[in-house]
Amino acid sequence: MSDNLPPCPECASTFTYEMDALLVCPECGHEWSASAQESDDDIVRDSVGNVLSDGDTVSVIKSLKLQGGSGSVKAGTKVRNIRLVAGGHDIDCKIPGLGQIGLKSQFVKKI
Indicate whether 49 belongs to any domain. Answer: no
Question: For every one of its 111 residues, what pLDDT tens digit does the chain have, with 9 covering 90 and above?
Answer: 446 888 888 888 899 999 988 999 999 999 988 776 555 557 889 999 999 999 999 999 999 998 877 789 999 999 999 999 988 899 999 998 889 999 999 999 999
Close Cβ partners of 76 (under 8 Å, ≥ 6 residues apart): 59, 60
CA dihedral over 75, 79, 84, 87, signed as positive or negative: negative
Q: Which domain holds residue 14?
A: 6-37
Indicate whether 13 belongs to any domain. Answer: yes
pLDDT of residue 1: 47
Question: Does residue 72 share a domain with residue 32?
Answer: no
> For 97, phi and psi rounded to 5 degrees?
90, -20
CATH number, domain at 23? 2.20.25.10
pLDDT of residue 53: 93
Indicate whether 44 belongs to any domain. Answer: no
| Rounded Cα–Cα distance for residues 22 and 11 (Å) | 17
The answer to whether 60 and 103 are in contact (CB under 8 A) is yes
This prediction has a pTM of 0.62
Indicate whether 45 belongs to any domain. Answer: no
> For 39, phi and psi rounded to 5 degrees?
-70, -30
Number of domains in the chain: 2
pLDDT of residue 39: 54
Indicate whether 32 belongs to any domain. Answer: yes
CATH number, domain at 63? 2.30.30.40
Among the listed residues 50, 55, 5, the one whose alpha carbon sits nearest the alpha carbon of residue 26: 5
Indicate whether 99 belongs to any domain. Answer: yes
